[in-house]
Amino acid sequence: MRITFILPGFISIPMGGVKVVHEYANRLSEKGHKVTLVYPIQIQTNLRYYLKKFLVQQYDTFTGNNRELYYTPDPKVAVLIVKNISDKYIPAGDAVIAVGWQTAFEVNNLSDYHGKKFYFLQHFETYFKSKNQILETFRLPMLKIAIAQWIIDELKKIGQNAEGPVMNAIDHQEFFNDPELTKRPNDIIAVYHHMNVKGPEDLILTLKTIKNQKNISAIVVSSRKPIHRFPSWVQVIVRPSIIQLRNLYNSSRIFLHTSHSEGWGLPVMEAMACGCAVVAADNRGVQEYLIHENNALLVPIGDTDALTAQVNHLLKNDQHRKSLVENGLKTINKFSWESSVTILENILIRNT
């Protein structure tokens, strides 16, 4: 098959959803399909879009963030950086897949020359200010493919269906519990994102509160230099390599996840695979694979007191922490890209 993924713009920072698409692109290519990744430079035309784009570019320049394409797919996967999503720039194919709501309208308007149209849903992103516009994309006459059951359930509420779930996984050669790193000198690790829906203020407040009660160490990983101010004792690491990130997870005891909304929550899986015990806000994405008191400790979204209490509990109760870790490792082993890519491949073949 000739399969084209249309991504939401030029990606110069680590993004879980884009990483997932690259996994599928690489693995579908390995299975003999002709795969193309398309990065449009222009995905919107309104003034607000250009202003936001300009400000992000200025921030990246000021903070020294590399503005080159972040992900490098396998050599067999074609990469096109195009002006916009239009018949002029998109190749012929059997399947063309909109990745993200930002690309949906344009992909829907492409001619049939580019293949059967699909919409790959990694979230139900109605928390954006463009809520009505996003809901409109869910009603477009494209076949929807969702990564999580909760997204399928939400679509049903508005009279829409989706194939799947095509569940996320991790590369077990990238993220694993390293038996040589038996000591975990760092207490807490977390992943930061500046958007309010990711709970950055909850993260900072929880870390500060725990620190006031107990002398702890903490590492925060970020794709860009944070716009929020962290205490000086928190080590902030921007864009670590995969090896560095794996070692950071393996050197930490607890992964603290404060996000209010996730489509899935890939960093949580990465941390679990590396032997971190998880304390998380109970968003619908992590509910796809986390079970309270089995492989994680879950608390109500936004409840920083509960987050603090559960982290403190695990810092004091090593046996409970190790039990969660053991069950977390068992959970992670149930998910594989090999299985998920086969499900996605069958959906594409069956519908083209």
* Concatenated DSSP letters of 144-186: EEESSHHHHHHHHHTT---B--------TTTS---TT-----E
Which bin fits 199, alpha (ψ -120 to 50), beta or left (φ > 0)?
left
Q: Quick one: pLDDT at residue 69? A: 64
Average pLDDT, the chain: 92
Confidence label for 67 from pLDDT (cuts 50, 70 and 90): low
Is the pLDDT at 87 greater than 80? The verdict is yes
Spell out the alpha helix ranges (H) of 251-298: 266-273
Q: Using the predicted structure, report yes or no on whether residue 45 has a pLDDT greater than 60.
A: no
pLDDT value of residue 15: 79
Least confident of 8-12, 250-254, 306-310: 8-12
Mean pLDDT of the 11-36 span: 91
Amino acid code (one letter) for 4: T
Examine domains 2-169+336-350 and 186-332 and report if their fold is the same. Answer: yes
Query: How many C-beta neighbours within 10 Å does residue 78 have?
Result: 15
Per residue in 91-108, pLDDT (tens digit) is: 999 999 999 999 999 999
Which band of pLDDT confidence, cut at 50, 70 and 90, is reported for residue 61? low
Q: Which residue has the tokens 């160490």?
A: 217
Tell me what pLDDT residue 72 has: 79
With a CB cutoff of 8 Å and minimum separation 6, the contacts of 203 are 190, 192, 220, 256, 258
Q: Rounded to an integer, what distance in angstroms lies between the CA atom of residue 246 and that of residue 171?
A: 11
The pLDDT value recorded for residue 73 is: 87
CB distance 28 to 3 below 8 Å: yes
Residue 47 has pLDDT above 70, yes or no: no
Q: 53 or 156: which carries more pLDDT confidence?
A: 156
352 pLDDT more than 80: yes
Give the per-residue pLDDT at 60.
61
Classify residue 293 by its DSSP letter.
T
**What is the average pLDDT across 286-314?**
98
- Give the integer Cα–Cα distance in Å for 279 and 257: 6
The pLDDT assigned to 125 comes to 80
Q: What is the pLDDT of residue 44?
A: 58
φ, ψ dihedrals at 95, nearest 5°: -145, 130
Q: Kindly report the CATH number that applies to the domain delimited by 2-169+336-350.
A: 3.40.50.11090
- Note the pLDDT of residue 132: 87
* Percentage above 70 pLDDT, the chain: 91
pLDDT (tens digit per residue) in 301-335: 999 999 999 999 999 999 999 999 999 999 999 99
Let me know if 202 is exposed, middle or buried by CB neighbors in 10 A (0-12, 13-18, 19+): buried
- What integer pLDDT is reported at residue 248 of this predicted model? 97
The answer to whether 207 and 188 have CB atoms below 8 angstroms apart is yes
Domain map of the chain by residue range?
Answer: 2-169+336-350, 186-332
Six token digits for residue 290: 């986390």
**pLDDT for 265 beyond 80:** yes
Tell me what percent of the residues of the chain surpass a pLDDT of 90: 83
Q: Provide the Cα torsion 266, 268, 273, 276; round to 10°.
A: 160
- Give the tokens for residue 17: 């959803």
Fold for the domain defined by 186-332: Rossmann fold (3.40.50)
Q: What would the pLDDT profile of 194-228 be if each residue is shown by its tens digit? A: 999 999 999 999 999 999 999 999 999 999 899 99
Q: What's residue 183's pLDDT?
A: 84
- Residue tagged 């030029």 (tokens): 10
Neighbours of 230 (CB within 10 A): 18
132-136: long-range contacts, CB 8 A cutoff, minimum separation 24 = 133/101, 134/101, 136/105
Q: What is the pLDDT of residue 179?
A: 82
- Pairing state of beta strands 95-99 and 78-82? unpaired
118-136: per-residue pLDDT in tens?
999 999 987 666 788 899 9
158-195 pLDDT tens trace: 999 999 999 999 999 999 999 877 789 999 999 999 99
Contact 224, 65 (CB under 8 A): yes
Distance, in Å, from the CA atom of 247 to the CA atom of 166, rounded to the nearest integer, reads 28
Tokens for 109, please give them: 């308007």
Q: What is the mean pLDDT of residues 239-262?
A: 96
Checking if the pLDDT of 46 tops 70, the result is no
Q: Which pLDDT score is estimated for 16? A: 83
Cis peptide bond upstream of 75, omega within 30? no
Mean pLDDT of 237-266: 96
